[in-house]
Chain A
Amino acid sequence: KNEVEQSPQNLTAQEGEFITINCSYSVGISALHWLQQHPGGGIVSLFMLSSGKKKHGRLIATINIQEKHSSLHITASHPRDSAVYICAAKIQGAQKLVFGQGTRLTINP
């Protein structure tokens, strides 16, 4: 079992729908990252969370430390949101990130 698990692996939705992507982890972490990777390959760091909730535009990320679970929400989804979304956990006491397998999101017009 991976230390960081994401669900769903693939998600297709219509434009305007509310999107939720989940991330669960089984190790102690100091922070959790949400990343976005577009088809060209470049990765954008969306959020770094250690507690609570963060919002940036239509994106919201939450984390529940006790339950070892984080969610990424997209409101009013748009075709340009189509990408792979990756959660990555920064393990306590370590420098490196442990990555989930990614969620491939497709938003149809």
Chain B
Amino acid sequence: GAVVSQHPSRVICKSGTSVKIECRSLDFQATTMFWYRQFPKQSLMLMATSNEGSKATYEQGVEKDKFLINHASLTLSTLTVTSAHPEDSSFYICSARRAQETQYFGPGTRLLVL
């Protein structure tokens, strides 16, 4: 199946710093990418939907100025957590989809903010 990668897989940062997470579709062009976060023992929560070349659509309650999403190409989307705080510690997962096909999920990035 199609492959989606995320980098880094794990990051620890100090409170107040910004962290960038990359999501790449390795063997297909993704017209749409999705960013999720997941708290322990909970299901995935959609943060935003990103279409290449246009602004991301954020879900209700997700601060767009805090979680900056850039989908600059058909194979790369980035999520930047700005001025991170301990409550931003979570597991962040991206997925990528081409046309009307299935979503392919990345391996996730575990963020710990100290």
- Footprint of B on A, CB under 8 Å? 31, 33, 35, 40-45, 48, 86, 95-97, 99-102
Contacts and interface: CB of A to CB of B under 8 A. Distances in A.
Interface of B: 1, 32, 34, 38, 42-44, 46, 49, 91, 93, 95, 101-108, 110
Contacts of B103: 33, 45, 97
Contacts of B101: 48
Rank and list the top 3 A-B pairs by shortest CB-CB distance, nearest first. A43-B105, A42-B107, A48-B102
Contact of B43 (A48, A96, A101): A101
Contacts of B104: 45
Given A95-B32, A96-B34, A43 B108 contact: yes
Contacts of A86: 43-44
Given A43-B108, A44-B105, A48-B102, A100 B1 contact: no
A97 B46 contact: yes
Nearest to A6: B43
A51 B13 CA distance: 45
Contacts of B43: 86, 99-102
16 contacts: A33-B102, A40-B107, A41-B93, A42-B105, A43-B93, A43-B95, A43-B105, A43-B106, A43-B108, A45-B1, A86-B44, A96-B34, A96-B46, A97-B46, A101-B42, A102-B43
A48 B97 CA distance: 12
B44 A99 contact: yes
A43 B93 CA distance: 9
A44 B96 CA distance: 12
A99 B108 CA distance: 17
Nearest to B105: A43
* Most chain A beta-carbon contacts within 10 A, residue among B1, B32, B102: B102
